[in-house]
Amino acid sequence: MSQILLFTKNPLNEQPFEERLHQLGHEVFTTKMMIDLCLLENANNEFIRIFHQIVLSETIANAEVKELVRTLKTFSIPIFRKSDEVLKEADLHEWEELGISDWIESRPSIEVLREKLSCDNVRNEGKLILLPKTEDKRSLSSLNLSSGELKLFRILYQQQKQTISREELCLRMWNKDKTNSSMSQLSVMVKHLKNKLAGQKIDGPIIETCWGQGYRMHGAVYEQVYVDSAELKYGNE
């Protein structure tokens, strides 16, 4: 299972949450000290790459969370905000734009926690992903993909790391409802797209399968491929 880095102002507060993570088989490293270290300019935080997910406790103020996310999102590891605060959709979108992948309740049921963390690993067979600099991003037009693969890429890319159901993908790809045939066709196309991108040196899992939910584009792809608005609009055709 995953190795989780949990930032908190009070480690004692996290014990019930840690117990649920342990029940699911995750390994948890809870830290207070690393909050200040991550906020230091030019600090060496490369050790963070060993973790699969990051959780920011409700004990950390929002202003400090925003500062932490600016540093932590450079590692392309999913970042979760643990909180019972109920936010409006616009506020949730603002947090997503800042780099928060999802929200977790402070006392979640084990089923909810299991699903939240089920498809967010960022390691491929235990290998660390070293992302290119922003200026080294490749354009979508530079990739050798078929028309169907391009359309699938655009649809997934447009989701901004959010999961899209297989039913919706079939509808947007071929304008038809899910059937056994379309499900099989979609699975094959997803596999071909992943292989094509990997063959053109796009690093990372590329497309994640979220069991029982659908597919989503992995965050590492956004760090390596640039899609302008003119290219992106064809994903809706």
Domain membership of residue 162 as a residue range: 134-236
Q: Within this chain, do residues 105 and 10 fall inside the same structural domain, yes or no?
A: yes
129 domain residue, yes or no: no
Say if 45 falls within a structural domain.
yes
Identify whether the C-beta of residue 159 lies closer than 8 Å to the C-beta of residue 169: no
| Sign of the CA dihedral with 202 first, then 188, 210, and 174 last | positive
Judge if 8 and 112 occupy the same domain. Answer: yes
Q: Which residue ranges of the chain lie beneath pLDDT 50?
A: 120-134, 235, 237
| Residue 156: per-residue pLDDT | 93
Does residue 180 share a domain with residue 86?
A: no
Q: Is residue 121 part of a domain?
A: no
- 206: in domain: yes
Q: Is residue 127 in some structural domain?
A: no
**Span 177-201, pLDDT tens digits:** 778 888 889 989 998 998 999 899 8
Q: Provide the CA 115 distance to its chain's centre, in angstroms.
A: 13
Report the pLDDT value the prediction gives residue 232, as an integer from 0 to 100: 64
The order of strands in the sheet holding 27-31 is 27-31, 3-7, 53-56, 79-82, 102-104
Residues 138, 103: one domain?
A: no
User: What are the pLDDT digits (tens) for 27-50?
Assistant: 999 999 999 888 887 777 888 888
For residue 78, which phi and psi values (nearest 5 degrees)? -55, 135
Does residue 185 fall inside a structural domain? Answer: yes
Q: Is the pTM of this model over 0.75?
A: no
Task: Count how many domains the chain has.
Answer: 2
